[in-house]
Structure 1
Amino acid sequence: MATTTRTTLNTPTIPEDITKDELSLVRSYLLLTFIHKVFERDCRVIGRSGLFKTPQLYMELVTGATKKTSLMLQEVTRELTSHNLKITTIRQDQRGVEASYACRGYTGEINIQWPGFRNEMMQRMRAYLGLNPELAVLSKNESVEQMAMSI
């Protein structure tokens, strides 16, 4: 579950508060950033592992998903800019992911705990890879625990 906190800056006019759509953009930016890095890492590992008879096939699949996330990340970045919204810092710890942002004179944070973040990542990654969400090989808890997260 994501939580937010807000503080105001001293400005001559009262800025409009951040909207739910804008918070959704911040969340999407975080998810896409992590997903993109996971796909890039996985593609490198597949290519170097020597465990696959046809690594190029798997790399092609992951590379396609990486390109999708890259395009989506570019679009989300454009949307953030058009909303005058800037993500100033991204931090992660044992509890989850936290991002600080500035939007029309307001600053705030969004905190997303790991279980929800990982689950949403897995759902999106399955979609970007063209996989059916109902046919997950690992149970929900196993897939969440096995995915290492770091940027």
Structure 2
Amino acid sequence: MAITKRYTPTTPTIPENISKDELSLVRSYLLLTFIHKVFERDCRAIGKSGLFKTPQLYMELVSSATKKTSLMLQEVTRELTSHQLKISTVRQDQRGVTAEYNCRGYAGEIHILWPGFRSEMMQRMRAYLGLGAELASVLPREERVEQMALSI
């Protein structure tokens, strides 16, 4: 669940509200940025590990997902620009991910707690890799959560 805090430091009147679609763009930008970094890191790790007989196959799979996230991230960035929405700061701590944004002169903040963020990351990553949701039950929930890095 995302928690949003809005404020205007110099203007007493509140400018145009930020829509749910615009907040969704901020959320998508955060998720895609983190997912892209995870895929890039995993691809490098597969190539360097020496554990795979055919690392190029797995690297090709992850590289394909990396390209998908890159294209989607470009599209989300274009949408952010068209909505005059700029993400100024992204922070992560033990509780979750926080992004500060400006939208048409209006400053705000969105905070997404780790459990929800990780869960949505895993769902999206599975989709970008072409995996069905039915395979998610192969690992117990605790193991799936532990596989996700705490920081990117």
- Fold-level similarity (TM above 0.5): yes
Secondary structure of the 1:110 match is strand
Match of 1:87, SS state, is strand
Deviation by residue 1:110-151 (Cα, 9 ceiling, x = unmatched): 000000000000000000000011112212332112211323
Partner of 1:88: 88
> Does 1:144 find its partner at 2:145?
yes
1:68–1:128: 8 Å Cα contact kept in structure 2?
yes
Where does residue 26 of structure 1 map in the other structure?
26
TM-score of the two chains, using structure 1 as the length reference: 0.95
**Runs of 5+ consecutive residues of structure 1 not aligned to the other structure:** none
RMSD of equivalent CA atoms: 1.4
Distance 1:75 1:45 in 2: 28
C-alpha distance in 1 between matches for 2:20 and 2:47: 40
State the AA in 2 paired with 1:135. Answer: L
Structure 2 CA distance, aligned partners of 1:33 and 1:126? 16
Runs of 4+ more than 4 Å apart:
11-14
Identity among equivalent positions (%) equals: 81
CA–CA distance in 2 between the matches of 1:99 and 1:75? 19
Report the Cα distance in structure 2 between the residues aligned to 1:118 and 1:88, rounded to whole angstroms.
Answer: 22
8 A Cα contact 2:86 2:102, kept in partner = yes
Number of paired residues?
151
Return closer, same or farther for 1:12/1:119 CA change in 2, 3 Å cut-off: closer
